[in-house]
Chain A
Amino acid sequence: MAEKLLKKGNEAIALAAIRYGVDGYFGYPITPQSEVMETLMEEMPWETTGMVVLQAESETSSINMLYGGACCGKKVMTSSSSPGISLMCEGISYMAGSELPCLVVNVTRGGPGLGTIQPSQGDYFQAVKGGGHGDYKTIVLAPASVQEMYDFVGTGFDLAFKYRMPAMILSDGAIGQMMEKVELRPQVQRLTDKEIAKKYGDWATTGKSGRKANFISSLALEARDMEQINLRLQSKYRIIEETEVLFEKHLCDDAEYLLVAFGSSARICESTVEMARSKGIRMGLLRPITLFPFPTRIIQAMLPQLKGIMSVELSAGQMVEDIRLAVNGAVPVEFFGKMGGIVFSPEEVLNAFTAKFNL
C-alpha cells in the first residue's frame, strides 16, 4: 500500500498535477490557494517530469497561457480563488468556444468583489452557469476531502480531454487549507505529441507534417457556422448530462428528509444527518460531486420517499435553484446558508432544518 501523507488540500492539488503527468501549470498567487504554486515550486517538477511551472503576471495571462498550451494538445492547468477566476472567465469562454481541454481550480473565498479570504461557495453560479459570455458549460467537480482534491485532478483532465472542454475543480478555502490523509497515486508519464494524437484524436496544432492543417479558433463570423458550433457544443453537453453525473448518498435509503450539499458544506451536513438520526428524524444527505452535470435525475428518483429537501450552501442560495428545477414543486425545497466567509456548524444546520420543517 502506498504511503499516506498528511497534506493540505492545496498541496494535494499540486502533487496530483505532477503525478498525473500534467505538462504545464500557469498561475498567479491569491489566498486561500497560494500553496498550490508554492508546493509546485518546492517540488521542482521541471527537474523530474519536465512539467512547466510558471508564475504569470496576472490571472488574465495565465488563462491565455492555458489557451496556447491546450492548442498544442498539452495537459495544462491553473488555480486561483474567486476574484482571480472572474478575471479568467473571458479565457474560459474562448477555450469552451474553441473546444479546448484544460483544468481550472477555484479555491473559493467570500465575495463579491475582493471580499474576504474565508471559505465560501458563492461562485456556484459562475462555475455552473458559465461565468464568461456565450452558451457554454464547464465540467465542474466539487471535492469534499483532501483525497478528492488529489483524485479530481486526474478525473478533471480525463473528462476535459474526453469532451475537449474546460473542466473546473470548485473547492473552497476550508478544503484548500485543511490537512487530511492523502494517498498518492503512481507517477504517470507525460505524453508525447504522437501519444496525445493517438489517445485523444489528431486535433491539436502540433506542427503540420503530412496531414491536413488543424485549425483552432472560437471565431466564426458566418452566423450559420456559429450556429453549427453551438449545436455541437449543446449536443456534447447533453451527452455529459446523460453519462457523467457523479454523486454520493449518505443514509438515503429510508430518508424522508434530504439535505443537499457539496464540498465542505457536505462534510458539515454529514454530522447534521448523524445528529438528526439520533433524534429519530429520518434524514439523508445527497452530495453532488459533479455540479455540472447536476444530479437532477437522482433527486427526481428520490422524490416519492421525500417529505422535504433543504439545500445547504455557503452562499445566499444558488444550487437551491437547480434543486427546485429538478423537483418542480413536488416537495417543499428550503434553503439554509451563510455568506461572506462565515461557516455554519452541524448544529446550526439542524436547527435551521427543524425550524423550516416544524419538527
Chain B
Amino acid sequence: MKEELIIAGFGGQGVLSMGKILAYSGVIQDKEVTWMPSYGPEMRGGTANVTVIISDKRISSPILNMCDTAIVLNQQSMDKFESKVKPGGILLYDPNGISRHPERKDIKVYSIDAADLANDSGISKAFNMLVLGAFLQLKPILEMENIIKGLKKSLPERYHNLMPMNEKAIRLGMANVKEVK
C-alpha cells in the first residue's frame, strides 16, 4: 500500500493538522510516513498545503509532482492541484466557496459539504475532521482505532475533552461523501 496525498486550503482550515493526524495514525499502524508542509510565502499569503505519504515500504521522495488523492478546500487550491491528480486518482472537495468546479474526466471526483454540515451540527471547529472522514470513507487505508489514537497524539492534552466531537465529525464526514458525476 502506498497513498500519496495532497491536502490544500486556506490557513486556519486545519489542513496541516488533518495531514498530521493521518501521518500519526500511520505511525501507530506501523507504516512509513512523510508529512511535508508548505511553509513558504504562500502560507503567509493565506493558503496552506501539505503532502502526506503513507506506505508499507521506505518512502523515497517526500516531494511529489503527481498524487493519488487531492483534497481541495478553496478555489486557489483547485486551480493549482486539479491537474496534479494521477489519472484514475481521486479529487475530494468541499463545494463551499468553489466557483470553478473540477473538469477532468479521467479522475474520480467526490464532494463533501463539510463547512455546511459542520455548521449545521454545531461543530464548525471540527470542519477538517469531516473532510478527513470523507477521505477515509473513500480510502480506508488506516483502521479507525488508529485514526482515533493518531488524533489523540496530535491534539494537545488540553483539547482531549474535544475527542468525542472530533470522532463524531469523522463519522459524519464518512456518511456524507458523494460522488460527483
Residues of A that sit less than 8 Å from B by CB: 4-6, 31-32, 116-118, 173-174, 177-181, 264, 267-272, 274, 341, 343, 345-348
Contact = CB atoms under 8 A, between A and B. Distances in A.
Nearest to B31: A181
B64 interface: yes
B39 A181 contact: no
A118 B40 contact: yes
B35 interface: yes
B127 interface: no
Contacts of B33: 6, 179-181
Contacts of B36: 174, 177-179
Contacts of B32: 181
B40 A178 contact: no
Interface stretch (B20-28, B68-76, B137-145, B160-168): B20-28
Q: Which of B20, B40, B153 has the most CB of A within 10 A?
A: B40
Contacts of B60: 267-268, 270-271, 274, 346
Given A32-B39, A118-B40, A180-B35, A174 B27 contact: no
Contacts, number: 69
B34 interface: yes
Contact of A271 (B24, B41, B61): B61
A268 to B, nearest CB: 4
Contacts of A177: 36-37, 39
B65 A345 contact: yes
B88 to A, nearest CB: 18
Nearest to B150: A6
B12 interface: no
A31 B34 CA distance: 20
Q: Which of B20, B61, B153 has the most CB of A within 10 A?
A: B61
Nearest to B50: A179
Contacts of A271: 60-61
Contacts of B153: 6
A268 B34 contact: no
A173 B65 contact: no
A108 to B, nearest CB: 14
Nearest to B65: A345
A178 B41 CA distance: 17
Interface residues of B, number: 20
Nearest to B36: A178
Given A4-B27, A6-B153, A174 B63 contact: yes
Nearest to B43: A117
27 contacts: A4-B27, A5-B27, A6-B20, A117-B39, A117-B41, A173-B39, A177-B36, A177-B37, A177-B39, A178-B34, A179-B33, A179-B34, A179-B36, A180-B62, A181-B33, A267-B63, A268-B60, A268-B61, A268-B63, A269-B61, A274-B60, A343-B63, A345-B61, A345-B63, A345-B64, A346-B65, A347-B65
A181 B29 CA distance: 12
Nearest to B37: A177
A118 B35 CA distance: 16
Q: Which of B24, B36, B60, B64 has the most CB of A within 10 A?
A: B60
A5 B150 CA distance: 11
Contacts of A116: 40-41
B114 to A, nearest CB: 24
Nearest to A250: B60
A269 B63 CA distance: 11
Q: Which of A4, A116, A117, A181 has the most CB of B within 10 A?
A: A181
A116 B63 CA distance: 19
B63 to A, nearest CB: 6
Given A174-B63, A347-B65, A180 B39 contact: no
B96 to A, nearest CB: 28
B40 A117 contact: yes
